[in-house]
């Protein structure tokens, strides 16, 4: 199929690469010309396993000119929906993309489906996107189709999860729109659920809220376990045998970061409040998550006075396998350490550059140098941290690195 993808962020890039590999003709649109240049040279602008390899093999047309979308059969909107200050989602990029696509629709002769892949709050596609598209003079459902097709990939294994989704959710304006997308995904081995547009929007937000709640719940139980001297990881193992609970996403520690879980939770809370419902559980999930990272610093204070001490941070990415530091737990931890007068040294295998733009005052160095600090905090569970020498050190572990237990003083955040 002839497919256009608007937005060369995580979702857009991965979708473009995977759909191209499946034999579709892809046009990738973005305003960031540097990013597009990298893609056209077969270079991945982000650190994501398998992505660079695929980009090196496939042929993707890259452009900043929306008129190149004119012969598309499907146009995916994959632009970012960052948080506003009040937690609601900013629709700035969605609105702009819709407006530009609307210009294309004006001159487009054949039917095509516009599919929103960006995460949006329920009602956005119908109340914001469709009216802008219809400003073209064309009618949604007659002249063009509309779907909401949420993406569930996970960073660090994005290609794998794109190609092997747990489910494909197609929110459709009408059967013809849904049928076009279902046809595109016909070779994926995953259950396909066709539903209304706003239900699809809600499934995405509910999914991330549920995952966030699962993490905060296991962290809360972990905090209680630590006080009672019980191993939370053994407790989680016992819980996981129950199929209703499941064994995944029960790793307690310093909580969730990233560009999705915190943002989507905030957006659902804000939307819920707008419609007059105060979502107390979701609000608590977020509050507990914010506090959880700082528990590391509280534990550290029991062993060392922060002022003037050198404190090492191992891991800056919000999780292993990525160079993404958005909402990384390392951010709030570094802020407190620096504010309290500590000298901070840090190491991450891939995320140092992004972190250095936020914290130029930190010294970025090797893991060995970090381990020479007065105390060390483990913030991301990179596999290589299982091979360091922690003997004689003070280590506060936020992510359960078993080897670190050999330290002279070792404290897990929930264990």
Residues of the shown chain interacting with ligand UGA in the complex, contacts defined by CB under 6 A: 119, 151-155, 208, 211, 215, 249-251, 253, 255-258, 260-261, 318-319
Task: Provide the minimum distance between the beta carbon of 262 and ligand UGA in the complex, in angstroms, as a whole number.
Answer: 9
Looking at beta carbons only, is 145 or 315 nearer to ligand UGA? 315
Q: Would you say 104 and 67 are in contact if contact means Cβ atoms under 8 Å apart? A: yes
Task: Provide the minimum distance between the beta carbon of 67 and ligand UGA in the complex, in angstroms, as a whole number.
Answer: 30
Task: Provide the minimum distance between the beta carbon of 116 and ligand UGA in the complex, in angstroms, as a whole number.
Answer: 14
Task: Provide the minimum distance between the beta carbon of 201 and ligand UGA in the complex, in angstroms, as a whole number.
Answer: 12
Looking at beta carbons only, is 318 or 347 nearer to ligand UGA? 318
State the Cα–Cα distance between residues 389 and 397, nearest whole angstrom: 14
Which stretches of 259-373 are DSSP H helices? 261-274, 280-301, 329-339, 352-358, 367-370
Looking at beta carbons only, is 145 or 257 nearer to ligand UGA? 257
State the Cα–Cα distance between residues 139 and 367, nearest whole angstrom: 59
State the Cα–Cα distance between residues 153 and 11, nearest whole angstrom: 8
State the Cα–Cα distance between residues 404 and 409, nearest whole angstrom: 10
Q: Is 260 a catalytic residue?
A: yes
Task: Provide the minimum distance between the beta carbon of 134 and ligand UGA in the complex, in angstroms, as a whole number.
Answer: 28
Looking at beta carbons only, is 256 or 347 nearer to ligand UGA? 256
State the Cα–Cα distance between residues 116 and 131, nearest whole angstrom: 14
Q: Would you say 173 and 149 are in contact if contact means Cβ atoms under 8 Å apart? A: no
Looking at beta carbons only, is 100 or 154 nearer to ligand UGA? 154
State the Cα–Cα distance between residues 192 and 56, nearest whole angstrom: 30
Q: Would you say 379 and 404 are in contact if contact means Cβ atoms under 8 Å apart? A: no
- Two structure tokens written together for 271: 């939307």
Task: Provide the minimum distance between the beta carbon of 337 and ligand UGA in the complex, in angstroms, as a whole number.
Answer: 19
Q: Which helix (H) or strand (E) holds 360?
A: none
Looking up tokens 């700035």, which residue turns up? Answer: 92
Measured from the Cβ of residue 305, the count of other Cβ atoms closer than 10 Å reads 12
Task: Provide the minimum distance between the beta carbon of 175 and ligand UGA in the complex, in angstroms, as a whole number.
Answer: 26
Q: In what side-by-side order are the strands of the sheet with 363-364? A: 363-364, 343-347, 310-314, 375-378, 394-397, 409-412
Looking at beta carbons only, is 188 or 249 nearer to ligand UGA? 249
Looking at beta carbons only, is 146 or 158 nearer to ligand UGA? 158
Q: Tell me how far CA of residue 293 lies from CA of 84, 155, 223, 412, in angstroms.
A: 23, 20, 12, 12
Q: Would you say 26 and 73 are in contact if contact means Cβ atoms under 8 Å apart? A: no
Greatest CA separation found in the chain?
72
Which residue in the list 225, 260, 373, 414 is annotated as catalytic?
Answer: 260
**Which residues are known catalytic residues?**
260
């Amino acid at each position: 199929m002839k497919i256009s993808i608007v937005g060369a962020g995580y979702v857009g890039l991965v979708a473009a690469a995977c759909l191209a590999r499946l034999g579709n003709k892809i046009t990738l649109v973005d305003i960031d010309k540097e990013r597009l240049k990298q893609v056209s040279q077969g270079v991945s602008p982000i650190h994501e396993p398998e992505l660079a390899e695929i980009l090196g093999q496939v042929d993707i047309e890259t452009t900043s000119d929306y008129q190149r979308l004119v012969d598309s059969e499907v146009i995916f909107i994959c632009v970012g929906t960052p948080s506003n200050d009040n937690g609601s989602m900013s629709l700035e990029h969605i609105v702009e993309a819709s407006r530009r696509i609307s210009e294309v629709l004006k001159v487009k002769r054949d039917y095509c489906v516009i599919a929103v892949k960006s995460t949006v709050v329920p009602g956005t596609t119908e109340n914001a996107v469709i009216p802008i598209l219809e400003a073209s003079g064309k009618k949604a459902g007659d002249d063009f189709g509309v779907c909401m097709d949420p993406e569930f990939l996970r960073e660090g294994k994005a290609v794998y999860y794109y190609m092997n989704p747990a489910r494909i959710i197609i929110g459709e304006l009408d059967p013809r729109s849904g049928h076009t997308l279902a046809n595109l995904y016909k070779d994926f081995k995953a259950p396909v659920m066709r539903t209304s547009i706003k239900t699809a929007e809600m499934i995405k937000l509910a999914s991330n809220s549920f995952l966030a709640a699962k993490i905060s719940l296991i962290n809360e139980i972990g905090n209680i376990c630590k006080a009672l001297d019980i191993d939370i990881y053994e407790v989680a193992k016992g819980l996981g045998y129950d199929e209703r609970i499941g064994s995944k996403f029960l790793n307690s520690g310093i909580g969730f970061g990233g560009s999705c879980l915190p943002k989507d939770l905030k957006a659902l809370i804000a939307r819920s409040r707008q419609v007059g419902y105060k979502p107390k559980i979701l609000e608590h999930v977020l509050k507990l998550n914010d506090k959880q990272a700082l528990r590391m610093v509280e534990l550290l204070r029991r062993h060392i006075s922060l002022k003037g001490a050198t404190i090492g941070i191992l891991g800056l990415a919000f999780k292993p396998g990525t160079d993404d530091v958005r909402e990384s737990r390392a951010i709030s931890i570094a802020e407190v350490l620096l504010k309290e007068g500590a000298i901070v040294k840090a190491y991450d295998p891939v995320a140092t550059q992004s972190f250095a733009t936020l914290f130029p005052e930190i010294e970025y160095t090797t893991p060995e140098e970090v381990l020479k600090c007065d105390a060390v905090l483990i913030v991301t569970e990179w596999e290589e941290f299982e091979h360091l020498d922690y003997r004689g050190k003070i280590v506060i572990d936020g992510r359960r690195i078993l080897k670190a237990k050999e330290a002279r003083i070792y404290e897990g955040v929930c264990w």
